[in-house]
Structure 1
Amino acid sequence: MINTTPMELKLREAVVEDSMCVAVLGLQVFLDTYATDGIRESIACEALEAFSWKSIAGIIAQPEAFIIVAESRGHLVGFAQVALRTGHEMIGDAQAAELQRLYVQERFTGLGVGKRLLKAAELQAALGGALLLWATVWVGNDRALGFYPQMGYRLEGSPMYVLQGEEHENRLYAKRLDGFEPEYRVSQ
């Protein structure tokens, strides 16, 4: 049966009490995206290290980072994680921020959750002093490779990402930050 109930979506900054839910949601989306051939030790180690509740709580507590969560009827369905003042050699911008994760639970994709999270992340990054937001996307993530150009991001290069000693090809996308719509402000 298809759910035809309109989705109520609230965006807000994550608080430490969200750590466990963000961690489990992140783990679920990570495995759905990157473990397409099953689980092997490098994927398992990366997943367990990146998505422990302690790791997520540490990110939320950092003054130079933030996580915005998307909540529908009291349940987290997605999140955007940004590190401020984080440049990359391919863009060389000291006033840049990195969109480290934009994760939406699979059954909520295609409903505008990712677009709203990205716009909110752009606004918060700009308010934090960033003039540019950049993200790397794994070459095997076709949906994300199509999403970022649609959202105004330009392809800047093809860096390699090292995951547990294994190299994986990525694409780096970047966007200048200006002209935000106030509808995407998040609750504090």
Structure 2
Amino acid sequence: MQVFLDTYATEGIRDSIAKEVLESFSPDNLSKIIAKSDTFIIVAEVDDHLVGFAQVAMSTGHDLISHPNSSELQRLYVQEKFTGKGVGYRLVEEAEKYAYLRGASLLWATVWIGNNRALMFYPRQGYEHLGSPSYTFQNETHENRLFGKILG
């Protein structure tokens, strides 16, 4: 929740942001995600404290991707205090390795256009810009960038 709010509530918290964060990160919803056999989560810890995680859904396509065996990096969240220290890089590296070992040949992610740090991060990790889809939550539509990387 903390990383979501730091990233998306840049002008403060409004109803749609509050509803989205409470729904997305409720214990029930997170338990459902963890239980999915086609989804995996890699965590980063410092001194036994969670500081970030990567969430990947296997065999997940997108209308802008024609590549077979693609999987989605659904979330890459790193607490602000730990950004710029290689945590995100290591999480993505592990997510790519694990996705590849499970049969993915391409890993993709969407990034909100207001998230400048992520927009610069993915190309540095070898991801190519593949399109500009929109994302809707709580009846609000937001422009994104779609990045993908061939694995292997």
Letter in 2 for 1:117: L
Does residue 1:124 correspond to 2:98, yes or no? yes
1:76 corresponds to: 50
What does residue 22 of structure 1 align with? none
Query: Deviation string for 1:143-188 (max 9, x for gaps)?
Result: 000000000000000000001111100000000001xxxxxxxxxx
1:91 corresponds, among 44, 49, 65, to 65
2:77 equivalent among 103, 114, 120: 103
Higher strand residue share: 2
Q: Which residue number corresponds to residue 150 of structure 2?
A: 176
Shift of 1:58: 1.0
Q: Distance in 1 between matches of 2:101 and 2:37?
A: 13
Q: CA deviation at 1:93?
A: 2.7
**RMSD of aligned Cα (Å):** 0.6
Q: Which has the larger radius of gyration?
A: 1
SS in 1 for 2:147: strand
> How far does the alpha carbon of each residue in 1:90-139 deviate from its partner, in whole angstroms, 9 at most, with x for none?
01234100000000000000000000000000011111110000000000
Instruction: Spell out the pairing of 1:6-85 with structure 2 (5 A cutoff).
Output: 27-85=1-59
- Measured after TM superposition, the shift of residue 54 of structure 1 is 1.4
| TM-score when normalising by structure 1 | 0.80
Question: Secondary structure in 2 aligned to 1:42?
Answer: helix
Q: Do the aligned partners of 1:78 and 1:105 also contact (CA within 8 Å) in 2?
A: yes
Structure 2: give runs of 5+ residues left out of the alignment.
Answer: none
Unaligned runs of 5+ in 1: 1-26, 179-188
Alpha-carbon distance between aligned partners in 1 of 2:67 and 2:140, rounded to the nearest angstrom? 27
Q: Secondary structure at the match of 1:39?
A: coil
Runs of 4+ in structure 1 off by over 6 angstroms are none
- 1:134-145, aligned counterparts within 5 Å? 134-145=108-119
8 A contact 1:86–1:94 mirrored in 2: no
Amino acid paired to 1:142: N
How many residue pairs get matched?
152
TM-score w.r.t. the length of structure 2 is 0.98
